[in-house]
């Protein structure tokens, strides 16, 4: 890693307070749909207010702040067009969201920008809060960073529709005051980055169980997101004999269990989850005629998890033949596993050592915008613990003191990288 620069020690209590203030402000009811569950989806008033909140914080420290054509929030402490180090995450929440998934990374990026200024450091910084990381608005994970990275084409983007009312992405983006027809210009959001670090809660419990303060991510799991449509024949639950039924839900049940078995057998930490299940007509006395189930297959070994997704599709076709139903498998998106940049990983570890903060290397099972930023610049991620590994749940909790320690480590890692 770069030579040991003189370590910049920060006032961790002040950083803890500011990170706690910013994250917990965002869980106030004006930033969520209710006082408990965080429901901050793309283009909703709550999401817009969250971006306005951080935009004000960033202007207060002298940053230029703008939104790119689809609504990714961007701020920079050097003139636009100049090279910078990128920091950030996302403000949108999962549909079953907690307070820290996303906002911790944005609050920490803002804190590092404050510390850079307070300590008279000369780091050129760009803070980004990406649109629709969770897919809670349009069912598309990492939508804002995929657009910026050029990972989604116009035809595919024109197919993207809101989960709740089926309205097109382009319509809702324009209605929210953005300029989606210029979506290709979002590429500039990732121009001229010398590196990128996203700090995030671990969303697992390794750090807590091993009593280690920070996780330095080595690789982010890739994933396949797909929908499987099974069409059978609905009929009277009482009048239809078991022999000869084409029960779409019974077929789906076989697929769910086989997905679980295939992932468990694949090794390399491969995982498969069926999280969504729509049943038509969904009545107690009617044989299900049609089912849609979602598939989320992930892993750090591309061959292993892509192989499981393919095997699940083949199994579904086989079940369909046996049960007299039809199966249609539609991929929403597939993103490869993403290795982190060794020099940035090294700088984070050296800074953690100099800060006297324990750390360990680990991979990320969760997907992150960092996977898309990696298309355009060297990237790395830093994890802080979340209580009992709980995330994508209102009970999600983290300690802002870990966020303060992480901000000192990120600040010093960037000092090392900038002066190498
Ligand atoms: O699903 C994910 O991996 C991320 O938390 N959106
Ligand atoms: Mn997240
Ligand atoms: Mn998430
Ligand atoms: Mn993320």
pLDDT in tens, 352-383: 999 999 999 999 999 999 999 999 999 999 99
Asked if the model's pLDDT at residue 150 lies above 90, the reply is yes
Q: Which of 36-40, 45-49, 190-194, 306-310 is the least confident region? A: 36-40
pLDDT band at 252 (very low <50, low <70, confident <90, very high): very high
Task: Give the pLDDT confidence score for residue 32 in this predicted structure.
Answer: 83
Q: Is the pTM of this model over 0.80?
A: yes
Q: Please tell me the distance from the alpha carbon of residue 76 to that of residue 74, in angstroms, as a whole number.
A: 7
Ligand 1 pocket test: pick from 224, 368, 386 the residue with the most ligand atoms within 8 Å of its Cβ.
368
Ligand nearest to the CA of 130: 4
Asked if the model's pLDDT at residue 5 lies above 80, the reply is no
- Which ligand 1 atom minimizes the distance to the CA of 94? 6
Asked if the model's pLDDT at residue 3 lies above 80, the reply is no
Asked if the model's pLDDT at residue 148 lies above 70, the reply is yes
Ligand nearest to the CA of 132: 1
Asked if the model's pLDDT at residue 178 lies above 90, the reply is yes
CA–centroid distance, residue 142 to ligand 1 (Å): 8
Q: Please tell me the distance from the alpha carbon of residue 67 to that of residue 130, in angstroms, as a whole number.
A: 10
Residue carrying structure tokens 């207060």? 60
Identify residues whose C-beta is under 5 A from ligand 2, the ion: 101-102
**Among protein residues, the one whose CA lies closest to atom 6 of ligand 1:** 134
Residue 118 phi, psi dihedral angles, 5° rounding: -65, -30
Residue 340 exposed, middle or buried by CB count within 10 Å (0-12, 13-18, 19+): buried
Q: Please tell me the distance from the alpha carbon of residue 168 to that of residue 188, in angstroms, as a whole number.
A: 24
Ligand nearest to the CA of 333: 1
Percent of the chain with pLDDT over 90: 95
Ligand 1 pocket test: pick from 90, 97, 203 the residue with the most ligand atoms within 8 Å of its Cβ.
203
Asked if the model's pLDDT at residue 190 lies above 70, the reply is yes
Percent of the chain with pLDDT over 70: 98
Residue 151 phi, psi dihedral angles, 5° rounding: -95, 5
Ligand nearest to the CA of 223: 1
Task: Give the pLDDT confidence score for residue 96 in this predicted structure.
Answer: 86
Mean pLDDT of 283-290: 98
Ligand 1 pocket test: pick from 97, 131, 141 the residue with the most ligand atoms within 8 Å of its Cβ.
141
- Which ligand 1 atom minimizes the distance to the CA of 368? 4
Q: Please tell me the distance from the alpha carbon of residue 395 to that of residue 101, in angstroms, as a whole number.
A: 11
Asked if the model's pLDDT at residue 41 lies above 70, the reply is yes
Asked if the model's pLDDT at residue 342 lies above 70, the reply is yes
CA–centroid distance, residue 88 to ligand 4 (Å): 9
Mean pLDDT of 154-162: 97
Asked if the model's pLDDT at residue 263 lies above 80, the reply is yes
Residue 311: partners with Cβ closer than 8 Å, 6 or more residues away: 262
Strand partners of residue 22: none
Residue 2 exposed, middle or buried by CB count within 10 Å (0-12, 13-18, 19+): middle
Asked if the model's pLDDT at residue 350 lies above 70, the reply is yes
Mean pLDDT of 409-416: 98
Task: Give the pLDDT confidence score for residue 142 in this predicted structure.
Answer: 97
Mean pLDDT of 171-198: 98
CA–centroid distance, residue 47 to ligand 4 (Å): 16
Task: Give the pLDDT confidence score for residue 35 in this predicted structure.
Answer: 66
302 labelled ligand-binding: no
Query: Cis peptide leading into 281, omega within 30 of 0?
Result: yes
Pocket of ligand 1 (CB under 6 A): 133-134, 141, 366-367
> Mean pLDDT, the chain, as a whole number?
96
Q: Please tell me the distance from the alpha carbon of residue 214 to that of residue 349, in angstroms, as a whole number.
A: 9
* Tokens linked to 108: 């920490």
Strand partners of residue 131: none
Tens digits of residue pLDDT in 297-341: 999 999 999 999 999 999 999 999 999 999 999 999 999 999 999
Task: Give the pLDDT confidence score for residue 293 in this predicted structure.
Answer: 98
Asked if the model's pLDDT at residue 4 lies above 80, the reply is no
H-type alpha helices, 92-159 = 103-118, 143-148, 154-159
What per-residue string of b and e applies to 77-111 under the rule 16 or more CB within 10 Å gives b?
bbeeeeebbbbbbbbbbbeebbbbbbbbbbbbbbb
């Amino acid at each position: 890693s770069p030579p040991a620069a003189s370590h910049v020690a920060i006032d961790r209590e002040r950083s803890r307070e500011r990170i706690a203030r910013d994250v917990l402000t965002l869980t106030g009811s004006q930033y969520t749909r209710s006082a408990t569950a965080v429901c901050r989806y793309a283009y909703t008033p709550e999401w817009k207010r969250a971006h306005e909140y951080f935009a004000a914080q960033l202007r207060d420290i002298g940053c230029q702040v703008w939104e790119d054509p689809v609504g990714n929030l961007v701020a920079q402490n050097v003139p636009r067009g100049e090279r910078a180090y990128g920091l950030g995450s996302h403000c949108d929440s999962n549909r079953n969201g907690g307070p820290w998934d996303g906002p911790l990374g944005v609050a920490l990026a803002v804190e590092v920008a404050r510390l850079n200024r307070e300590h008279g450091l000369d780091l050129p910084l760009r803070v980004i809060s990406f649109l629709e990381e969770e897919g809670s608005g349009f069912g598309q994970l990492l939508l804002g960073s995929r657009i910026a990275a050029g990972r989604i084409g116009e035809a595919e983007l024109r197919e993207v529709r809101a989960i709740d009312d089926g309205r097109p992405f382009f319509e809702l983006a324009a209605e929210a005051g953005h300029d989606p027809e210029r979506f290709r210009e979002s590429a500039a959001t990732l121009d001229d980055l010398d590196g990128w670090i996203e700090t995030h809660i671990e969303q697992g419990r390794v750090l807590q169980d091993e009593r280690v303060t920070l996780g330095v991510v080595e690789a982010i799991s890739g994933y396949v997101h797909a929908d499987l449509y099974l069409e059978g024949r609905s009929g009277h639950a009482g009048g239809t004999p078991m022999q000869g039924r084409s029960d779409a839900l019974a077929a789906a049940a076989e697929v769910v269990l086989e997905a679980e078995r295939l992932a468990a057998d694949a090794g390399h930490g491969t995982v498969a989850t069926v999280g969504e299940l729509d049943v038509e007509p969904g009545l107690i006395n009617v044989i299900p005629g049609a089912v849609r189930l979602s598939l989320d297959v992930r892993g750090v070994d591309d061959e292993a998890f892509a192989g499981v997704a393919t095997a699940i599709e083949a199994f579904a076709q086989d079940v369909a033949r046996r049960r007299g139903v039809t199966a249609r498998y539609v991929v929403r998106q597939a993103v490869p596993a993403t290795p982190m940049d060794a020099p940035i990983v090294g700088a984070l570890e050296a800074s953690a050592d100099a800060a006297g903060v324990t750390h360990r290397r680990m991979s990320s099972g969760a997907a992150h915008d960092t996977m898309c930023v990696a298309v355009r610049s060297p990237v790395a991620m830093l994890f802080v613990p979340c209580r009992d590994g709980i995330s994508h749940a209102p009970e999600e909790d983290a300690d802002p003191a870990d966020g303060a320690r992480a901000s000192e480590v990120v600040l010093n890692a960037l000092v090392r990288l900038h002066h190498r």
